[in-house]
């Protein structure tokens, strides 16, 4: 088989079109920059003699229009590669870009369906629906959902296994064919191979699943801890606030990377400190929901008892399964007491260390944000009205203050997932993440950067993937902030 080109037959007409769009964008950007330096300003609306309005355009407006239409043409070119790759089933005709687009077919279909349904019913979907009134929010949401769907369909999208090694393919360039592909085996490495002969494209696809199975869930746990501690600290104040704030500042005083180095050292792991931390941190979701249901339904004892009991039983079993691993003789005896027949799932040791470390580092920051919001909101009139009605403190905190703090917290949640993604990538890059053979993006970048000056292709795709996911989360947070301020 012949090596694949980047654009295949599609590049015959799409490459000149996209090249023209890039040249037009650069020309518009340079012209706009020069005009602004020369004192030119965009046009303004003027009132005509018949009392109608019209826009009096200036050269700056034409430069901005050129940039806008250039971006539109680039987008159409990308769409052309996607549709062309899906139509042309033969990779030798569609090229590397078209072949990757064809492999991502379930992702494209899921995105189209999601956007179609969301835009159709956006007026009924609250803040989520309002997100589709913001172009920035839509772009960010699209990028985030692209990687979520990619992670969900990773088994269908990837062309090879994440740790499948073909020694003859070491450091092969993008589009290189396999020497002797077996029947049913994909015949090319679309983005080349790393120094061990593993497919870079497949490792990037599976790496999305590795990142997204840790970052959002770790952020949720960090918010549970921060909210559960931040609400009473800000509401009650006094000595409780002083003690919790001091402990939060103590954790924040440690450099993050140094803290992770401490948590993954063999002596610390052997002492079971990450396990003891998990025992403390994983209890907070149970505490949160127990207090939530008890404060809401305290005047309805049967319903309260049912919800609180279900939370304690189901949450307790999940909690004990999370912190216990009876089959691991290296754990302290306290974490091997839970019967193995009731141990529903186990978290691998290295993954548990990363997860607990991320929650431990992020929780103090969330606590300080929640505490600051509560200090502001607790002085509002509706809080005083709730106190006058005789509502309990936890009811006011969870059902009066917390819902009115949802806007800043949702925005920070999106941003914090991005920070956590960067942190996981940094840990993987320094070898402090999950297992060395894991396809997470940080580890893949670390593997590829060793030969970066000779073979850049193993390191660039995971770096661009990491950048695009974080960019999407930041744009999504900007869109949510923009729409929440309109409420």
Let me know if residue 16 belongs to a domain: yes
What is 396-447 written as a DSSP string? HIIIIIHHHTHHHHHHHHHHHHHHHHHHHHHHHHTT-SS-TT---HHHHHHH
Question: Residue 180 pLDDT more than 70?
Answer: yes
Let me know if residue 427 belongs to a domain: no
Report the predicted TM-score, pTM, of the whole model to 2 decimal places. Answer: 0.86
**Confidence at residue 48, expressed as pLDDT on a 0 to 100 scale:** 67
pLDDT mean over 315-339:
78
pLDDT, tens digit, for every residue of 51-97? Answer: 666 667 788 888 888 888 998 998 888 888 888 888 887 888 888 88
Q: Using the 3D structure, point to which of 77, 102, 127 is the last residue of a domain.
A: 102
pLDDT, tens digit, for every residue of 213-248? Answer: 888 888 999 999 999 999 999 999 889 999 999 999
Q: Using the 3D structure, point to which of 33, 68, 102 is the last residue of a domain.
A: 102
| Token code pair at residue 216 | 């959002």
Angstrom distance (rounded) from CA 135 to CA 18: 22
Number of structural domains (the chain) is 2
Residue closest to 260 by CA, chosen among 442, 407, 29, 437: 442
Q: Are residues 83 and 227 in the same domain?
A: no
Let me know if residue 380 belongs to a domain: yes
Question: Residue 138 pLDDT more than 80?
Answer: yes
Let me know if residue 131 belongs to a domain: no
Q: Are residues 221 and 364 in the same domain?
A: yes
Which range, 295-309, 319-333, 419-433, is most confident? 295-309
Let me know if residue 51 belongs to a domain: yes
- According to DSSP, the β-strands at 188-189 and 53-56 are unpaired
Cα R_g (the chain), whole angstroms: 27
Q: Are residues 226 and 95 in the same domain?
A: no
Q: Using the 3D structure, point to which of 102, 125, 152 is the last residue of a domain.
A: 102
Domain that includes residue 56, residue range: 1-102
Let me know if residue 210 belongs to a domain: no
Let me know if residue 158 belongs to a domain: no
pLDDT, tens digit, for every residue of 442-487? Answer: 888 888 877 777 778 888 899 899 999 999 999 998 888 887 766 5
**Confidence at residue 95, expressed as pLDDT on a 0 to 100 scale:** 87
Question: Residue 146 pLDDT more than 90?
Answer: yes
Angstrom distance (rounded) from CA 409 to CA 402: 9
Mention every residue, 6+ apart, whose C-beta is less than 8 A from residue 257.
426, 430
- According to DSSP, the β-strands at 188-189 and 176-177 are antiparallel
């Amino acid at each position: 088989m012949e090596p694949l080109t980047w654009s295949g037959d599609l590049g015959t007409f799409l490459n000149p079109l996209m090249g023209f769009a890039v040249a037009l964008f650069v020309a518009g950007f340079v012209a706009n920059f020069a005009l602004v330096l020369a004192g030119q300003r965009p046009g303004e609306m003027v009132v005509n003699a018949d009392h109608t309005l019209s826009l009096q355009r200036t050269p700056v407006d034409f430069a901005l229009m050129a940039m806008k239409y250039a971006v539109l043409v680039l987008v159409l070119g990308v769409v052309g590669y996607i549709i062309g790759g899906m139509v042309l089933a033969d990779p030798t005709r569609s090229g590397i870009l078209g072949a990757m687009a064809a492999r991502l077919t379930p992702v494209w279909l899921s995105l189209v369906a999601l956007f179609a349904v969301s835009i159709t019913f956006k007026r009924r979907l609250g803040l989520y629906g309002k997100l589709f009134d913001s172009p920035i929010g839509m772009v960010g949401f699209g990028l985030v959902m692209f990687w979520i769907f990619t992670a969900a369909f990773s088994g269908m999208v990837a062309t090879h296994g994440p740790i499948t090694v073909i020694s003859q393919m070491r450091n092969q360039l993008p589009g290189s064919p396999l020497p002797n592909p077996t029947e049913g085996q994909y015949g090319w490495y679309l983005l080349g191979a790393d120094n061990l002969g593993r497919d870079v494209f497949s490792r990037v696809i599976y790496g999305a699943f590795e990142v997204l199975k840790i970052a959002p869930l770790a952020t949720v746990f960090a918010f549970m801890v921060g909210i559960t501690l931040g609400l009473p600290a800000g509401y009650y104040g006094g000595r409780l606030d002083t003690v919790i704030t001091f402990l939060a500042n103590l954790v924040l005083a440690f450099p993050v990377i140094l803290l992770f180095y401490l948590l993954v050292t063999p002596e610390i792991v052997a002492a079971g400190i990450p396990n003891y931390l998990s025992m403390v941190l994983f209890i907070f979701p149970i505490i949160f929901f127990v207090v939530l249901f008890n404060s809401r339904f305290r005047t309805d004892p049967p319903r309260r008892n049912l919800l609180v009991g279900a939370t304690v039983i189901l949450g307790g079993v999940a909690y004990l399964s999370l912190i216990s691993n009876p089959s691991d003789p290296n754990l302290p005896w306290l974490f091997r007491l839970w019967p193995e027949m009731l141990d529903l799932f186990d978290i691998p040791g290295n993954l548990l260390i990363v997860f607990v470390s991320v929650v431990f580092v992020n929780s103090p920051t969330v606590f300080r944000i929640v505490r600051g919001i509560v200090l502001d909101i607790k002085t509002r009139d509706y809080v005083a009205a709730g106190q006058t009605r005789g509502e309990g403190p936890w009811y006011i905190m969870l059902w009066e203050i917390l819902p009115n703090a949802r806007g800043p917290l949702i925005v920070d949640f999106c941003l914090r997932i991005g920070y956590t993604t960067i942190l996981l990538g940094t840990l993987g890059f320094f070898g402090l993440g999950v297992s060395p053979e894991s396809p997470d993006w940080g580890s893949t970048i670390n593997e590829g950067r060793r030969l970066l000056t000779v073979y850049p292709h193993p390191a660039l795709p995971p770096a661009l993937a990491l950048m695009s996911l974080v960019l999407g989360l930041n744009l999504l947070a900007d869109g949510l902030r923009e729409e929440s301020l309109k409420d």
